[in-house]
Amino acid sequence: MFHKPNENKSQSITDGFHLVVDALKLNGIDTIFGVAGIPITDLARLAQAEGIRYIGFRHEQSAGNAAAIAGYLTKKPGICLTVSAPGFLNGMVALANATTNGFPMIQISGSSDRSIVDLQQGDYEELDQMNAAKPYTKASFRVSKPEDIGTGVARAIHAAVSGRPGGVYLDLTADVLAATLGNDAASRSLVRVVDPSPRQIPDPESIKRAIDLHASAQRPLIILGKGAAYAQADDAIRSFIEKTGIPYLPMSMAKGLLPDNHKQSAAAARSLVLSQADVVMLVGARLNWLLAQGKGPHWSQTAQFVQVDISATEIDSNRAIAAPVVADIGSAMSAFLAALKPGQIQPKAAWIDAIAERKQHNTERMAARLDGSPNPMNFYSSLRAIRDVLANRPDIYVVNEGANTLDFGRDIIDMHQPRQRLDCGTWGVMGIGMGYAIGAAVVSGKPVVAVEGDSAFGFSGMELETICRYHLPIVVVVFNNGGIYRGDDINRSGGADPSPTVLMRDARYDKLIEAFDGTGHNVTDPRSLTKALTVALASGKPALINCVIDPTAGTESGHLQNLNPQSQVGNEKKN
């Protein structure tokens, strides 16, 4: 199992590099995302030589995003490998985002000589990385002796996937990577993790309390969050929803747990159900900003809540929870089904009819917008073209980011399979697009369409080279309206510099991928977009579609205008 670092068969020693690889392999880690450099270059080479797939990126943040989404899709911690100090800090953005979203991820970074760092004597890329990581992670560990590498990897895995998943930092000093250890002692030091994410069985009383509350409801509602999608308890969730007849509202990354065209979906009547539901069941969803903290005019102030969550500390975080169910979602939904009696929960017909009426009204209004043919294209007409192409490709993963591109895409592109819509999630951070697309393509082996705003794409656009280098079946569609939010703003000083929100007019993003031997398309109408996307997907090769839309399309900050304070004096906007 162990390998001699200098390949001299007469020696029975190994080193830290080999121990890290062996510890990862022992625990089923088969993929690493990272950026090579001092002091981890040989670790990347060795991992690849020993059968672990290594995907090398152009920036650590994108590598970390790929690792995070790989963790979300597989329920195994995604691994991001970075160099020390600046590389470590670049990766930390993705690691903090993984923690916030509940994605299992481990960032492994090399670090400088501890004795010099601790006295701040000025080592190469000197930084106390373990302590810098602590505020943004579930756990942060440092390994200083080679015989502790196995324990360090095991503890990192346990922390990443147990309870609410999250990001974990594992610090490996240059000294420990280069240190040697006898093969026998090294073999004994490794740890095979057993049951790192044990089931958390709900209290039967909490199940009864929740069912009784639903049974008394006039206007019940279930909200599905991405935690429900992560749980991979798809059959149990769908069975409970269909047996009870309760309308449900999927959060963005929970779309597809049940098909978006399911008759119980209340997505097209979101405002109505949030404001009028009298009992709301949260399944893997948190009452954070995405749900207005459960407060304000969007919500009924008399609604009672059931919350299914693995973390007891999440209960009562914003609204009083009348029926908390602290458990893993799979165990909770199985318990609900076992306890549920036929006909025990029956939403009132008036509630179902009111939702159906609002859905029909909103669906017809959306259809009218989608049927328009403006010239130049807007978000509706271009996303309609993408929606229609993807309708016959349920195998495709959709990555979506931007402001307006995200908001419109979430409402227009239907999902029919779970965990195939990947977006900016809880933090709402831009720049996840290329990392998520690469991570999804690598761990699934399936094609990915990344629908990107032009501003959001700019955060990680150089990863087009990564996509082409690894020949990944990813098609990037850049919605090019020439700006952040829109491209028609002006410099209010009258000077020559562009407005803070304006990007280069007539940019040709398709030319970027052609530089790396990918295929570029430039489209200005829905028919051309349909053709380009169809051809690109059929090829199975990297492609980018520069989708030119009206620079006046879009609104400031998308749907988050209330979160973007604006000056009330002298800030007239050109429309």
pLDDT < 50 regions, the chain = 1-4, 9-10, 572-575
| CATH number assigned to the domain covering 13-189 | 3.40.50.970
State residue 571's pLDDT score: 52
Domain ranges in the chain are 13-189, 204-353, 372-563
With pLDDT > 70 as the criterion, what percentage of the chain qualifies? 95
3-state class (DSSP) for residue 281: strand
Mapping DSSP to helix (H, G, I), strand (E, B) and coil, where does residue 349 land? helix
What is the pLDDT, as a whole number, of residue 5? 53
Task: Name residues whose C-beta falls within 8 Å of residue 230's C-beta, 6 or more positions apart in sequence.
Answer: 72, 75, 102, 103, 165, 284, 419
Q: In CATH terms, are 13-189 and 372-563 the same topology?
A: yes
- Contact status, residue 173 vs residue 143, Cβ threshold 8 Å: yes
pLDDT for res 561: 65
Looking at residue 263, its amino acid is K
CB atoms within 10 A of CB 239: 16
- Would you state the pLDDT for residue 194? 98
CATH of domain 372-563: 3.40.50.970
pLDDT in tens, 296-331: 888 999 999 999 999 999 999 999 999 999 999 999
Q: Which of 415, 440, 404 is nearest to 65 (CA)?
A: 440
- Strands 304-309, 323-326: pairing is parallel
Whether this prediction's pTM lies above 0.85 is answered by yes
| DSSP per residue, 394-449 | TT-EEEEESSHHHHHHHHHS---STT-EEE-TTTT-S--HHHHHHHHHHHH-S-EE
Token pair, residue 361, equals: 């009204």
pLDDT of residue 565: 73
Check whether domain 204-353 has CATH 3.40.50.1220, yes or no: yes
Q: Residue 560: its pLDDT value, please?
A: 67
Return the pLDDT at 572: 47
